[in-house]
Each structure stands twice: as C-alpha cells, then as structure tokens.
Amino acid sequence: MNSNNIGQAQFELGFRDTLQLLWPYVRDQFVDQLTGVWCIVAGLFLFQRVVLGLPIAFAGMIAAGTLVVIVGLMFFMEGLRLGLMPLGERIGALLPRKAHVGVILMFAFLLGIGATLAEPAIAVLKAAGSGVEPRQAPLLYLLLNDHANQLVIAVGLGVGIAVTLGVLRFLRGWSLKVLILPLVAALLAITGWAASHPQMKHLLGLAWDCGAVTTGPVTVPLVLALGIGVCRMVGGSDNRNAGFGIVTLASLFPILAVLLLGTYHLQRGDYVELAAAAQESAGAQPRNVMSSELLGFDSVEFRQYLQTGELPPHSRIVLREGKPQLIDGRIVHANPVIVLEKTAPDDRTLFAGAWWDPQSNLGQRLTESIWGALRAIVPLALFMVLTLRVILRESVSQADTVTIGLGFTLVGMLLFGLGIQLGLTPLGTQLGSNVPATFTTIAPWGIPGTEGPLFKYAFYGKLLAAVFGFFLGYGATLAEPALNALGNTVESITVGAFRKKLLMHSVALGVGAGIAAGVCKIAFNLPLVWLLVPPYLLLLLLTWISSEEFVNFSWDSAGVTTGPITVPLVLAMGLGIGSNVPGVIDGFGILALASVGPIISVLTVGLLVARVERRQALLS
C-alpha cells in the first residue's frame, strides 16, 4: 500500500469521464495564460498596424508561435505547481531539520549555480552585444566573445553566493534592508568609478543587464520554494516576508561579479592587443544594417528605363542642387540634378510577405528547444530528487503527481522556447526594428520599401517610441511566468491580502516606465550612469523608509520581471533604435532600467498601503 498518495484510485473512469474531467481543467489553464499573453500580442500588432501603418510579416508563423507559447506556459505553470515547487518547498522544510548548516549552504550554492546555467536568457545577452565593435569597446568585446564562458561562470558564482547568503539570512534572521543598502551603495560606487573609466564604462550596461536577466522562470520558483520551506522552519512569529530576498540578492551579485571580472581583465590588459588588432583591420564595416537595405533600382530596371524612357513604377523625382527661383509666379529650378528614387509600393495589405518565414528552419528550432528544455530541467530535477533521497533520506511524497509535474515543466519549457522563437521573437524583432520609423527613415523589417519619419521633428518620434516602449514593457511583464509564480507566492504568504493582480500590475507599471526610460537612453544616447544612479539613490531612500515586508516583495519582483518574454522583445527594440542613432554602440541598459522601475513602483504602492494600515491602526 502506498501511503504517500492521498487516497487510492477509488473510481474506475472510462475514456469519456476522463475527458469530461480534463476538459474544464485544460480550458481554465488555457484561458488563464491567454489573458496574460493576449495583451502584449494585441498591443504589438496594433502599434505596427495602426501607428506605424505597416503590415505584419510572417503573420501565420507568429500566430502559430503565440499559440505554442500559450500552450507552453500552460504546461510550465502547472508543472511548477505540481512538480518543482512542492519539491523545493519540501527540501527547504526538511533541510534545517535534518542537515547541518554547512550542508544547507552548500546545497544553496550549488542550486544557485545550477539554476543560472539552466536559464536560457543569458544566451540572449550575447545578441545584444552583437553590434559591439572591438575598436570602440575592446573590453566589452573581449568579455562577450573571447571570454563568454568566464562571463557565464562569473554570473553563476554570483548567483550561487547570493542564494547562499539569502539562505543564511533566513537562518540568522537578518533584515534584507541591512544587506541591500550597503550592497547597492557599493554597486553604485563601483558604477560611478566605472562610468569615468574609458573602458569600464562600456561594461556597465552589460553588468546591470546580467543582473536583471539571471533570475528567470526556473530559478525564481525554485529559490522561492526553497526560501519558503526554510522560513517555515526557522522563522519567528512574523513570517510575512518568508522566502523572499534571495531573488534580489541573486540579481545584485552578478552585477558585482561582472564588474569584478571586467576589472580583472582590465588589470591584465589583454584587451589592448585586441584593440590594436581591431585598429588595423578597421575597415568601414556598415554598422547600420537597416539603411544598407534601403530600396534602389537594379540594373534590369535601369536598362528598361533606358530603353523605354518611361518612369519605372513606384518611383519619385527628386531635384538636387540647382537654384530654385520665383519668376513670374512660377518656381523655376535652374540646373538641377534630377534623381529618380524608388518608393515602396502603395498596395500595403494587412499582412505582407510570406505567411511563414522560409528561413525559420522548424526542425532545427525544435531540436534546440528540446535541448534547452532538457538542459534546464533535468539536471535540476535530478539534483533535487537526489538531495531528497540521498542527503535527507526521505521519499518523494506524491511521487506520481510530482513526476507528472516535472514532465509538464519539461514539455512547457520546450513549447515555450519554441513558441518564443517562432512567434514572439519575429514579432518583437520586426516591431523593434520598425519603431525607429517614428523618428527616422528606415527600411521596414521583412517588407520592401522605406518608411519615413512619422513626425517632422525627431524629438516627438522618439517620445512616441518611448511611449511604445512603456506599453511593450507593461504587456510583456504581465505575461512573464516567473512574475506569475512570484505573484502566487506573495498571495499565499500574505494570506491573500496582497493580491497577485495588484502586484503584477504595479510591477508592470514600473517595468513599462523603466523601458520607456531605456528607450530614451538609447534614442537620445544618454549615458547609462545618469539614468541608473538617481533612481537607485531614490530607491535607497524608499527602501530605508519602507516596511521590511514590502522591501522584500518589491526588490524580488524587480529581479523577476525581466524574463524570457520581455528580454527578446526589449533587446530587439534596443538594437533597432540603437542602430539608427549615431554614436550608440550597444543595445544594453534597457533591461537594467526595466528592473529599477518595479522596485520603485511596488515600494510606492507599499507606502500607500502602509498609510491606509496606519489609519486603521489608529482607529483600533
């Protein structure tokens, strides 16, 4: 008799009954995820179609991809609920009872490193640095290309140390404030120093983005569950902040780790020869890919023009040089150079181009997603089950549902990865590269023709791009699975008092504002340090006056927000805008700003709520 299961199979169900049970369950899960995702997809679609007036390329692939993302999220969230979260919580609750402090900390350290290596988002960062030239920022180029492994290991070590420290904090009952305030102050000091250094200043964007990216949908629920488990056992009478704080530390330490790694290579000076080598081969690489794709007539059309003497279709006449004069009420343009330019065909439809990207290579994408999912889930699951069986000598309770849950997580991760590649990334990339159309002339992504600036003054166009960035951030955040998991946890810990909806929307507001600021940073080519340091100084103040509980929620939600949905969308936009603004060398920094925003917004909400609670306390 298996006493671990709740109840034995008491009913014999036919196929029909099984379907009747499964259908409402699947429907509810689907609707849940749909409500999260539709907002961002519809927003992107409308912006492209209505504001920019551009058709959507590869619409069929994007629709299919979005559907796959929704199904993937559905499996993933259910998998978390049934598999990873119960495992993590059980281990967290058993560790303090059965294991030595050293073992617990060792476990936390390994978990941190393992979870980071499993996170898919780090690979994305390399894409953000793809436009970096070794000539301009050799140190950044070196870290991103020659020493990419060191970078990942540094981040992993950072997360490992952070998780260890976070668990130690629970065991010793330290306040999160006490840890955050000096850490952030130190980070700001280093940032201030780095900003004045000609090489290090290029690293700042990467470092702060690394912090934002590391804590993704696998790490967060695990680390939260572990923390909740530990806190349940060791926490005092007040456990309203139980389990939080690790995510925060896990997004601060990697910043430090990356900056230290940069300093190490700065000391070694191995970037100098790279810079020298790059100087030699300093060919005029066309950095602006978009403008090189501007439309032009080809030789066939030219020959046809020579033969017939007729203007080719979709062309316009531009007069260059010469001298326009007003003579007898007529404008006479003397001695002009007449240029024929090709224009985009006007018959723009809702969907242009192919329905499916011919280069999408579905088979390869699928294998990649399968490997990614296996790499993310299997080692972690094995590690946890082994810890439970070997170190703690306990059986896995509810083994069958946990197994189903792990299976769901795997399938969910796989579909999620695939869907993002098929749906959200193409949509985000085309929109991201089209956003600069608000302030400059570009060749739209995947569509022939050019698209001019929407406004006469680039300033307004850039503002519109920032507004778009806000909505993109808002919508993408609501769809993030890790934030969803955090919202559930916050709701349970506060016994339902702090609603998941309230948390998600305040976080989304902050992310939106942060991304808008990030767009401004790139569009106006502002130095990151000026956008980063004042908000963090404000944060230090807010953190100082806020209650411990809200400090925990808000800092954690900041680490959580930038996950697999936001990152590709935001990076695509950052790169798109960056490549159209002279002087911008990388698309970094938006993510860093996107994680300052939610801390401020949630802390502000917390202060508002505290006001209400204080009034209530006065009453009774």
Partner 1 sequence: MTLFRTVENLSSVTVMLPASNTARVLEEVFAKGGHGATVFNSRGTLIRDHWTQSLIPLMSPTMRYIQALVPDDEVDGLIEEIHAVAGLHRPGSGAVFSIPCEEVLYSVGYPVWNPRDDSTTNASLNIHENLTAIYCITRRGQIEAISRAAMRAGAHGPVMQLCEGHGLRAGLGWLRITSKPDKELLAVVVDNSDADDVFEAVVRAGRIGLPGRGIAYRLPVQKGIVNLTSVYGHAHQAATLEQIITAIDELKGDAHWRDQSVMELGISGRVAGLGLAQSKQADHRDFVSLICVVPREQMEPLMAAAMRAQAPGINVVYGKFSETEQAATARVGLTRERGVLRTIARRQQIETLRAALIDEAERQQFTEVCLYLQTVRRLAAYIPEIKQRDSAPRYRGAVVPSHNRR
Binding site for partner 1 (CB under 8 A): 3-11, 13, 18, 21-22, 24-25, 78, 81-82, 93, 96-97, 232-235, 237-240, 397, 400-401, 404-405, 492, 494-498, 502, 506, 605, 608-609, 612-613, 615-617, 619-620
Min dist. Cβ of residue 620 to partner 1 (A)? 4
Q: Tokens 């739209």 — which residue?
A: 444
Question: Which DSSP state fits 333?
Answer: E
Q: Centre a 10 Å sphere on the Cβ of residue 341 and count the other Cβ atoms it contains.
A: 14
SS (H, E, C) 499-554: CHHHHHHHHHHHHHHHHHHHHHHHHCCCCHHHHHHHHHHHHHHHHHHCCHHHHHHH
- Nearest CB to partner 1, comparing residues 5 and 361: 5
Which two three-digit tokens encode residue 146?
């020659």
- Nearest CB to partner 1, comparing residues 89 and 586: 89
Question: Which DSSP state fits 198?
Answer: T
Nearby residues of 221 by Cβ (< 8 Å), 6 or more positions away: 80, 84, 85, 88, 482, 485, 489
Min dist. Cβ of residue 491 to partner 1 (A)? 8
In single-letter form, the type of residue at position 153 comes to: I
Min dist. Cβ of residue 391 to partner 1 (A)? 17
- Look at residues 322, 319, 314 and name the one whose alpha carbon lies nearest to residue 295: 314
Cα distances from 532 to residues 130, 209, 542, 582, in angstroms, run 23, 12, 15, 22
Min dist. Cβ of residue 24 to partner 1 (A)? 8
- Nearest CB to partner 1, comparing residues 321 and 394: 394
Min dist. Cβ of residue 497 to partner 1 (A)? 4
- Nearest CB to partner 1, comparing residues 308 and 620: 620
- Nearest CB to partner 1, comparing residues 101 and 339: 101
Helix (H, G, I), strand (E, B) or coil at 340: strand
Q: Tokens 């200043």 — which residue?
A: 201
Q: DSSP letter string over 92-143?
A: HHHHHHHS-HHHHHHHHHHHHHHHHHH-THHHHHHHHTTT--TTT-HHHHII
In single-letter form, the type of residue at position 120 comes to: P
> In angstroms, rounded to a whole number, what is the distance separating the alpha carbons of residues 343 and 4?
71
- Nearest CB to partner 1, comparing residues 232 and 375: 232
- Nearest CB to partner 1, comparing residues 321 and 400: 400
- Nearest CB to partner 1, comparing residues 6 and 326: 6
CB 578, CB 131: distance < 8 Å = yes
- Nearest CB to partner 1, comparing residues 136 and 401: 401
- Look at residues 518, 605, 528 and name the one whose alpha carbon lies nearest to residue 562: 518
Min dist. Cβ of residue 480 to partner 1 (A)? 20
Min dist. Cβ of residue 517 to partner 1 (A)? 23
- Nearest CB to partner 1, comparing residues 285 and 395: 395
Nearby residues of 394 by Cβ (< 8 Å), 6 or more positions away: 90, 94, 98, 388
Min dist. Cβ of residue 1 to partner 1 (A)? 9
- Nearest CB to partner 1, comparing residues 440 and 506: 506
> In angstroms, rounded to a whole number, what is the distance separating the alpha carbons of residues 227 and 490?
13
> In angstroms, rounded to a whole number, what is the distance separating the alpha carbons of residues 67 and 420?
10
Min dist. Cβ of residue 608 to partner 1 (A)? 6
Min dist. Cβ of residue 550 to partner 1 (A)? 10
Min dist. Cβ of residue 6 to partner 1 (A)? 5
Extended strands (E) in 256-359: 315-320, 323-327, 330-334, 337-342, 351-352
